[in-house]
Structure 1
Amino acid sequence: MKRFSGKIGVEQGTRVLFSDFANDGVMWAGDGPREVRQAQTFSEPFAVAPMVMVSISMWDMDHKTNSRADISAENITESGFEIVFRTWSDTRVARIRADWMALGPLRDDDEWDVV
């Protein structure tokens, strides 16, 4: 986690979501709607749920079918989120790597509440 002015945090990462060509997995051998979810935990929690951006940084798809892909961040909380990749119809996806970045306010050690 990188801190800016002690109050804003930025964290980034990369993750291979699957390599289905190696074992004839559903993304490579299947058809119709398919989805993969991967949980990602931040190195330290944000003060509130941050803004998260996800992108595909590597894709390996069959050239004989249309390339259909949807990637997003869902279930974003202070401590993490899910990377969600979806495809559909006859698209054959061998593997996907996703890069992500989260930006949001951090807890300040000088701020505390007495209950």
Structure 2
Amino acid sequence: MKKFLTHPIGIDQGEVVLFSEFGNGGEMWTGEGPRERRTEIQFAERFRSPPVVQLGISLWDVDNSSALRAEVTTSDITCGGFVAVFRTWSDTRIARIRVAWIAMGEVAHADDWQIS
């Protein structure tokens, strides 16, 4: 459980296309087996400590001739950003994926003391 102290809480959110490979014949569309895409996302402002990040698919453009196999997760969450990770495997063909994300956590306050 993430517990917040008496600091203000900030919420940042956004959407990003992780890849679009139908038009250029990229490996997510033409390949087979395990495949992965990682995209770095920066927050609009830094959090005081690494926030909680929730990630979900907001658009998927997939081939329907095989089973849909996909995993969407986060990695490397820091005060300044995180990495969105998309994985698929076997014969699944993915043309395009867009994800929506939201980050919630403590943010700095003007009255915070800076002790060196």
Partner of 1:28, secondary structure, is helix
Say if 2:58 is the partner of 1:57. yes
Q: Deviations over 1:29-83 (max 9, x none)?
A: 0000000000000011000000000000100110101001100111000000000
Q: How does 1:16-95 map to 2 (within 5 A)?
A: 16-95=17-96
Residue 112 (structure 1) shift:
1.5
The answer to whether the 8 A contact 2:7-2:106 is kept is no
C-alpha distance in structure 1 between counterparts of 2:66 and 2:103, whole Å: 33
2:100 alignment partner in structure 1 = 99
Partner of 1:102, secondary structure, is strand
Report the residue type matching 1:57 in the other structure. S
Structure 2, unpaired ranges of 5+ = 1-5
Residue 6 (structure 1) shift:
7.1
2:3 alignment partner in structure 1 = none
C-alpha distance in structure 1 between counterparts of 2:81 and 2:89, whole Å: 27
Aligned length: 111
Structure 1, unpaired ranges of 5+ = none
C-alpha distance in structure 1 between counterparts of 2:47 and 2:111, whole Å: 15
**Percent identity among equivalent residues?**
48
Report the residue type matching 1:8 in the other structure. I
C-alpha distance in structure 2 between counterparts of 1:68 and 1:109, whole Å: 46
Q: Deviations over 1:7-39 (max 9, x none)?
A: 100000000111110100000000000000000
Which 4+ residue blocks in structure 1 deviate beyond 3 angstroms?
none
Partner of 2:28, secondary structure, is helix
Pairwise CA RMSD: 1.2
Report the residue type matching 1:64 in the other structure. S
Report the residue type matching 2:61 in the other structure. D
Report the residue type matching 2:92 in the other structure. T
